[in-house]
Structure 1
C-alpha cells in the first residue's frame, strides 16, 4: 500500500472518507462508515440495496479511499455486505447513527456512522433516565466543570442543603472518584458508610454487589423541617481491621467489559446510582432529587453523568480561554455525532466565582461570560435564516437559554475555608448573598424542568 507524500492527519481523514461514502450512496446503495480504534476508516456497502454494486465500481472506490486517506485507510478499506457472514451485526448495530448533516434524497442511499473508541464513547449516547420500577422517576441533576477548582463541590453542598431545607429528600452522589469533594464536605469520616461508589463499581463487575452499605445521612448539615440529606460518597470507611485499598479499586473501576447482565462501565455506573437511590428508599423514602457531583474534564464518568444519568446538567466555568476551548471541543463532538438536539436543552451554564472589581465590574464580567457562552453554545443551536423561527436558536440575551449564565459570586471569605470544621458557615450572610441567584434558578430548573 502506497501513501500520499503529504500525510493525512486525523482531522482530515473523516471528511475524505465521507466524500467517498457520498459517492457510493449516490448510486442508491446504503453505506456504513466505520472508524476503528486507531482512527482508520472503512466503508461497508450494503450491495443488497439499490441496484447492487458493480465490482469495477467497488474497486474504484477502494482505490480512492487508499489514495486519499493514506494511513487512515483500514487494512480492508471497502467491504460488501454480500461477502460478510453477518453483515447486519454492523449495518443494524444499535451503536450506528445516521451521518450528521446528510439527508438522502430520492434515489440516494443512506449513510450511517459507527465510531469505535477506547474511551469516551458515552459522550455520543444521549438518553433520558428511565423511570423506577414503580413508575416514579427521580429528578437527577449533574454538576460538571470542564476544569477543576471552579467551586462545583461547594455549590453541590449549598444546593443540597437548600433543597433539603425545602422539605425534599436529597441524595448527593460523589462521582469525582479521583478527587472526592462533596462526600467529605457532607459526612464526617467516621460516619461514612462502609462502602462507597468505587466499591459498587468493582463488586458489580463480578456480580458481587448485593448488600453493600452505600449511603449515610449528612452529618455536617443541619436540615430544617422534614427534609432529608443523604450522601453516597466516592469512598467508604472500610471494614474494621481491614485495609481500605482505595487506589487499587480505582485502578479497576473503568474496565469496560461486559459482566453479569451489564454491558460495560456506563451500565455499571448507572446501576450504581440506582443502587444508592434504592438504599435511601430502604432506609427512609425514595429521594425526590439526586445531585451528581461529576468528575471534571472530558472523562468517561462525566460522559455518562451528563449524557445518560441526568435530566439537567449544570456546567460550571470561568470566563477564560481554557473554559471556552474545552466546552467548544465538547459541543463540537456532540454536534458531529448528531446529538445536539437531544443534549442542548438539558444544559445550563453556571458562571462560578464571579468577581467584582473596579477594573472589571460584575455586570461587565457577566456580559462577557454570556457572549462567550453563546458563541460556544451556537455550535449546538440550529443554523437558521434571520426570519426562520422553526428551530432552536435562542438569542444571546435570552435569560432562559442554555448559555445564559447562572451566577455564583466570588467572596474572599470562602477562599481556604475549612468547611468541615466551621459549623454553620453556609448560613453566613456573605455566603447566602454569593449563592442566592444560583440556588433560586437551579431549584426552579430542577422542580419545573429545563425550558
Structure 2
C-alpha cells in the first residue's frame, strides 16, 4: 500500500460507516496516516458493534497508512465536538449520498492554505479594495513585468494602485517600478519585525516616481511595497536580507505565517491611506506572487485575492503543474469557490510566420480547457461555461502577452520610459485592456464604490 492508494481506501471505509447512519470525520496526519472519527451520539451501542469491522478494514486496506488508533468514537473522546466541527474540515467531494456524512480534515506541514479558499472581506468602515494576484506555476514567464505594466496602466485610468512584491526569494516588481528609489525597508523586514511585535515605524511602502496621466477630473496614484528595501548607506548596518528571509516563514504562538502575511498586506494598504494626500485607500492592490506550489502563492490565491491571473507557456511543465493544483482544489471540494477567481494568461506568446499567434493560442486554450475540466462540474458547465472550449468568458480562455525580445535582459534602472515604447505597448495591449475591464467591472459592482 502506497500513499497514493491509501486515500481512496480510507474514504471507502468512511463512506461505509456513513452508510450506517453515522456522521464521520476522516483525518489524515502529517505523515499521511488516517484516523476515522465516528460521531456516535445516542448510538453508542450500534457503533460499538461495528467498530471492530471498521478497524479490521483499516488494517486490511490501508496498511502502514493507518494511525495507531484507526477508529475513534466521539463518546470516548474529550472535546470531540471541537474536532468534528472543525472549520478546516471539508465535505467528501466525490462520495455518494449516504444516511450519514463524511468530512475530511487534512493536516500538512506546509500548503494547507491551498484548501482554504475564501473571498477577502473589507475591513469595517473601509472602502472596498480589489486585489489581483499575478501567479505562475513556473518562473521566468514575465509575471513581474506584467505586474509593472498593469500597475501603471491602472494608475493612468485614475485609480489608486498598490503593488506588493510577494516574490520574496526573487524580488522583481519593486526594482521595475522604483528603479533604485526603494524605501529603507521591504516586506521581509515587516514580516520579521511583526513576528516579535516590532513593526511600528518601518518605512516599507513608498510612492512611485511615475506620474499617471490625468483621467477626467482624477489623477491616479501608484504605490509600491517591495520585498527588499534599499541597500544600506555608508555608516548604516548592512541589509542582511538572507538572514531575514530564512525567518519569515516561521509560525509563532500568536500567529501563523499565513496570518502574518495577510496582516502584512493589510499593513501595506493602511500605509497608503496614512501617507496619501487625501487619506485615500488603494482601489486596486496587485500581488506579485512567488512561482510554484508554495505557501506564499497558497495564501495569496486562496485567501487574499478577488482575481488570480495564472501565467503560463504552452509546455508540459505548465500543464502538469496546473493540473496538480486544480486536482487538489477539486479533491478538497474547493472547485466551486476557486474557479470564479481564476483567469489564464498566455505569456511570451510567439507571433511569426513560423509560429502564428492564432495557432499558438488555439493550442494553449485547448490545453487550458483540459486542465480546467477538473474545476468545471455539471452546474458550472450548464450555467457558466455554456460555450465549452470556445467560451471567451470562461477562466480557461487565455489572454495573450506577446513575446518581446527587446525586454530580455533589460535593467529597468538604466532604461527610463521602457513601458511606453511602442513595441512594449503592442505586446501587452490585449492583456492590459482585458484585465483592466474585469477589475473595473468588479469595482463598479461593489457597494460604496462607483469605479472609474
| TM-score (norm. length: structure 2) | 0.92
Contact 1:383–1:393 (CA<8 Å) still a contact in 2? Answer: no
Give 1:392 shift.
5.4
Change (3 A) 1:367 1:350: same
User: Which residue in 2 is equivalent to 1:275?
Assistant: 267
User: Which residue in 1 is equivalent to 2:62?
Assistant: 69
Name the CA distance, whole Å, in 2 between partners of 1:37 and 1:11.
Answer: 14
User: Which residue in 1 is equivalent to 2:102?
Assistant: 111
Across the aligned residues of Structure 1 and Structure 2, the Cα RMSD in angstroms comes to 1.8
Name the CA distance, whole Å, in 2 between partners of 1:24 and 1:214.
Answer: 54
Give 1:243 shift.
2.1
Give 1:55 shift.
2.6
The 5-angstrom pairing of residues 153-232 of structure 1 reads 153-189=144-180, 191-219=181-209, 221-225=210-214, 226-232=219-225
3-state SS, counterpart of residue 23 of structure 1: helix
Residue among 343, 351, 361 paired with 1:348: 343
User: Which residue in 2 is equivalent to 1:4?
Assistant: none
Contact 1:142–1:313 (CA<8 Å) still a contact in 2? Answer: yes
Is residue 2:423 matched to residue 1:430?
A: yes
Compare 358-367 and 376-385 and name the one that shifted more: 376-385
The 5-angstrom pairing of residues 50-449 of structure 1 reads 52-102=45-95, 104-105=97-98, 108-189=99-180, 191-219=181-209, 221-225=210-214, 226-237=219-230, 241-259=236-254, 262=255, 264-284=256-276, 285-383=280-378, 389-390=382-383, 394-449=387-442
3-state SS, counterpart of residue 351 of structure 1: strand
Contact 2:309–2:342 (CA<8 Å) still a contact in 1? Answer: yes
3-state SS, counterpart of residue 441 of structure 1: helix
| TM-score (norm. length: structure 1) | 0.93
Change (3 A) 1:103 1:409: same
What are the superposed Cα offsets for residues 16-43 of structure 1, whole Å, 9 maximum, x if unpaired?
0011111111111111000000001010
Report the number of matched residues: 435
3-state SS, counterpart of residue 423 of structure 1: coil
Gaps of 5+ in 2: 446-452
Contact 2:127–2:281 (CA<8 Å) still a contact in 1? Answer: no
Residue among 1, 5, 9 paired with 1:12: 5
Name the CA distance, whole Å, in 1 between partners of 2:434 and 2:383.
Answer: 27
Change (3 A) 1:232 1:390: closer
Contact 2:175–2:412 (CA<8 Å) still a contact in 1? Answer: no
3-state SS, counterpart of residue 183 of structure 2: coil
User: Which residue in 2 is equivalent to 1:5?
Assistant: none
Name the CA distance, whole Å, in 2 between partners of 1:389 and 1:168.
Answer: 36
Compare 249-258 and 225-234 and name the one that shifted more: 249-258
Name the CA distance, whole Å, in 1 between partners of 2:178 and 2:370.
Answer: 40
